[in-house]
Amino acid sequence: MKNRKTWIAPSVLSLLLIASLIWGYNQYRIREQYEVALDNHYQRLFYDVRDHVQKVQVSLSKALLASTRERNVLLFTQIMNDADQARDKLAQMPISHADTVTTEKFLTQAADYSYFIIQKHMEGQEITPEQREAIKSIQLNTTAFNEELNSLSNSMIDDNFLVGMANAGRRNRDNDGGSTNALVTSLANMDKEVAKAPELIYDGPFADQMINRKPVGLSGNNVNLEQAKKAAVDFIGSDRIRNIQAFEQGEGVDEMRIPSYTFQVEDKNTRGVLTYVSVSKQGGKVLNITNTRPASERNLTVEEGQQKALDFLKSKGFNNMEPNYNLRYDGTVLYNFVYTQNNVTVYPDLVKVKVALDNGEIVGFDASAYYLNHKARSLNEVTLDQEEARNMIKTNFDIDSTRLTLIPKGENEVQCYEFKGKYNDADYIVYINAETGQEEQILQIIQNENGTLTF
């Protein structure tokens, strides 16, 4: 009996040891497989970025030579596509955002700028000397980037820095991207080079001017915290407030799109219900109100709610607001109202109001788009009449309604005829420029259970 006992314990232990060794080796192998797969993926991304940047560079130099608009349109379509692809793939690599932020921006704007040039060409315009300079500067940057990527890929023959990249992500996170990886260093240098290039001035969704746009609908002096608090209290009604406090601001507050104060309000009647209010610094206007009270019952119809919202807007001094589409959620409906001037629907001046259908209370209000865009406009008499505009659209587009609208076009606004209708059983809105007859915009309307969305 004693004899037996002596061999049992060691054999159990050694079995355990063998089992855990096998297990460990297996884990190691699996991990290695994953790492190789990930490394391969990153290598693919790197080579793709290099190829796309190279194509951008070649197409740009061709575009500088090309003398016809037709050729240029084709070239810039390629540039747009390749620059977009390069940006997309660069963003998927495990590199800290801080090291590639300017390069990413450069590639996005290169694509965006190409789209801008294509649009100009389509409208029959030639490239201006300034635009030619801008294209040259994009080309210079692309060339530098291309050289950088090429020398990187040459050095990969000796020392493949992309192997082990799967781990680099973890390292980067720990020590703030301070990795000695050749790729990261090189991209960080590139990023600094690109930052020196002049800002691109053009009209497109990713242009600096569009992003740094300041509100035009706010006027007056800056208000201080106390004045802003008073504006918030007046807007909600002091009888409904138990307690109001402001969120702390940072020193960069003036660089927000709309510099503002944000408050948290405790409801007097219902405990635990919070309302958030933001008030603009300039002029002290209430930009947004959100009441977090949940509502699930529906005692009002959507139309009755809309009337409540309209009355609310009137009481707050928003006149000439026209109901647009709405979205229904649980027991609330979000209504969109658009400003009208001389029967022209001014789409940029948008105000949203959310109404709870249980008791008709206004639980949400957002006028930030309105204050961003609203200004005194002089709307010219349009040159095209409705019939002429209608002739610009496919004859089998089945039109339900037509009206004159003002829609945003880049930094500007254009007057358009809006045609709502059906084509191939789906709903669309087509905008025809009321001056030139151009097709400015086509929106597809998607109806779902909650309401209407446009794409």
Query: Nearest-CA neighbor of 305 among 366, 365, 354?
Result: 354
Only one of the segments 227-235, 274-282, 385-393, 408-416 lies at the binding site for other proteins (rule: CB under 8 A); that segment is: 274-282
**Residue 222 touches other proteins, criterion: CB under 8 A:** no
Of 31, 33, 36, 92, the one binding other proteins (CB under 8 A) is 92
- What is the footprint of other proteins within residues 372-411 (CB under 8 A)? none
Nearer to other proteins, 363 or 434 (CB): 363
Least distance CB 287 / other proteins (angstroms): 8
Burial of 426: CB neighbours in 10 Å, binned 0-12, 13-18, 19+: exposed
* Cα separation values, 204 from 26, 120, 350, Å: 53, 12, 21
Binding residues with other proteins: total (CB under 8 A): 82
Of 35, 88, 361, 440, the one binding other proteins (CB under 8 A) is 88
Radius of gyration of the chain (CA): 30
Nearer to other proteins, 36 or 253 (CB): 253
**Residue 10 touches other proteins, criterion: CB under 8 A:** no
Q: Which residues contact 270 (CB under 8 A, 6 or more apart)?
A: 293
Of 55, 105, 120, 285, the one binding other proteins (CB under 8 A) is 105
- What is the footprint of other proteins within residues 408-437 (CB under 8 A)? 424-427
Least distance CB 97 / other proteins (angstroms): 6
**Can you give 383-423 as a three-state secondary structure string?**
CCCHHHHHCCCCCCCEEEEEEEEEEEECCEEEEEEEEEEEE
Of 93, 231, 232, 353, the one binding other proteins (CB under 8 A) is 93
Of 40, 119, 177, 403, the one binding other proteins (CB under 8 A) is 177
Burial of 429: CB neighbours in 10 Å, binned 0-12, 13-18, 19+: middle
Nearer to other proteins, 383 or 450 (CB): 450
Nearer to other proteins, 75 or 194 (CB): 194
Burial of 77: CB neighbours in 10 Å, binned 0-12, 13-18, 19+: middle
Of 36, 37, 195, 211, the one binding other proteins (CB under 8 A) is 211
Of 36, 195, 225, 253, the one binding other proteins (CB under 8 A) is 253
**N-terminal to C-terminal alpha carbon distance within the chain:** 82
- What is the footprint of other proteins within residues 307-366 (CB under 8 A)? 327-331, 334, 352, 364, 366
User: CA–CA separation, 421 vs 415, rounded Å?
Assistant: 19
- What is the footprint of other proteins within residues 147-176 (CB under 8 A)? 169, 172-174, 176
Q: Which residues contact 206 (CB under 8 A, 6 or more apart)?
A: 108, 109, 112
* Cα separation values, 236 from 222, 285, 289, Å: 21, 13, 9
Question: What SS3 class is residue 264?
Answer: strand
- What is the footprint of other proteins within residues 27-86 (CB under 8 A)? none
